[in-house]
Amino acid sequence: MNITERFLSYVKFDTQSNEEAEGCPSTLKQLVFAEYLKNELVSEGLTEVEMDEHGYIYATLPANIDADVPVVGFIAHMDTSPDCSGADIKPRIVSNYDGKDIVLSEGIVSSTEKFPELLNHIGEDIIVTDGHTLLGADDKAGIAEIVQAMVYLKEHPEVKHGKVRVAFNPDEEIGMGAHLFDVERFGCKFAYTIDGSEVGELEFENFNAASAKIHINGCSVHPGYAKGKMINAGRVATELVQMLPQDETPETTEGYEGFFHLTSIQGGCEQADLSFIIRDHNRAKFERRKERIQELVAVINAKYGDGVAQLNMNDQYYNMREKVEPMMYIIDIAKQAMQEAGVTPRVQAIRGGTDGAQLSFKGLPCPNIFAGGINFHGPYEFCPIQSMEKAMMTVVNICKLVAE
């Protein structure tokens, strides 16, 4: 099985996670894919293949040298984003892409004007969707690349390597992927998540992240007799949103700029609910953003009455940079591995999160490497086959370099 076939077999599984669910995994369908992966790893000859009750998978590629070298790990996540359906995905390969707009389905077009990144892949073979679901390259491309790299190393014993550990986990897309990851059981000195986007991405900085849910308790009264009595929860919710800085949203920021992101709003006169995510690379600015949310809730309660607005806010993960910097040689290894795979490394900060951030704070320094997919979390997602092949060879080269 080549890497394309492997990836296409993976995207048949609907593994969408659910941020409203309790327990891990957040959706039982992730366990179906986990069981498939576990069996595949066994059939491909990996050892110490284990799956726990939450769907976390751990496996080993034994060393083919006697030297005492560090154990390196590679990690990818099984779930796809709640933002877009991951059911009944219909992928299609656009061979030798010609640089023109791609018709995904009737009336649904992936245009180079809207998605100019397509033009970086002219002449390559691109896997696209039919425009009705996401593709799932985030992060099934990463899983395919890791598994294919292990197969490559088994088939090429001339490539010397130490013990290699791989792990696949649920619920990364809802910020919970690393919470039950057993770092001690994994047994690595350092690892890499294969969960980035465009070729060459190498990341060891990410957002500090929190979630905030605000419940608004209104007071519903007949609108003809509501003066001085009604508290319209829906209107209060929109009032709160408008008090946030309008130029500090995902659609107005880039680079190291943080934001407040309203992910959902629902309700009516009696009750309303707001969900936000809060992001910033700078820890002090991150804390100030959380304080701002608390202040706005206090303003609403001062205006409409105590308990009208109720806040539940939780930190999700932190910037891994402070944990990776003392071991910068692992970044150097990744850079060299990319170069040997014909890739120019591009070190940048993640405008998002990765399981590697949480794992770094659990004692496993874990930078992030490109997986090749582009336009994640939506129907215009695509993944060049050549990018997956380069990511796979980057994994192979890291294993080789760690052993040298």
Active-site annotation, residues: 79, 172
Question: Counting Cβ atoms within 10 Å, is residue 278 exposed (0-12), middle (13-18) or buried (19+)?
Answer: buried
Write the DSSP assignment of 204-218 as a string of letters.
EE--EEEEEEEEEE-
H/E element holding 267? strand 259-267
CA gap 394, 389 in Å, rounded: 9
Query: Quick one: which H or E segment has residue 110?
Result: strand 108-110
Instruction: Give the residue among 281, 276, 266 at the shortest CA–CA distance from 296.
Output: 276
Which residues pair with residue 77 across a beta bridge?
169
Q: How far apart are CA 93 and CA 104, in angstroms?
A: 11
Q: Which residues pair with 264 in a beta bridge?
A: 275
Closest to 394 in 3D by CA, of 320, 329, 335, 306:
335
